[in-house]
Amino acid sequence: LIADEPTSSLDDENADNVLKILTQQAAENHASLVIATHDRRVKDKLNKEYLL
């Protein structure tokens, strides 16, 4: 799954909901999840981080 700025312009509650849905879908489908974002809160929800 690839997501480009999935939490931009969302409040904390909705950003958490979106991340929960994305991570659940990735797990259920045995898929990787790649997120491009400027939102530093996202890194706390995932198990790996790569900075460019």
- pLDDT tens for 10-46 read 999 999 999 999 999 999 999 999 999 998 888 888 8
Residue 32 forms part of a structural domain:
yes
pLDDT at 44: 86
Residue 52 forms part of a structural domain:
no
pLDDT at 48: 87
Residue 7 forms part of a structural domain:
yes
Domain span holding position 21? 2-45
pLDDT at 33: 94
C-alpha span between 38 and 24 (Å, rounded): 22
For the chain, what is the domain count?
1
The pTM for the full model equals 0.84
pLDDT at 18: 96
pLDDT at 2: 97
pLDDT at 24: 96
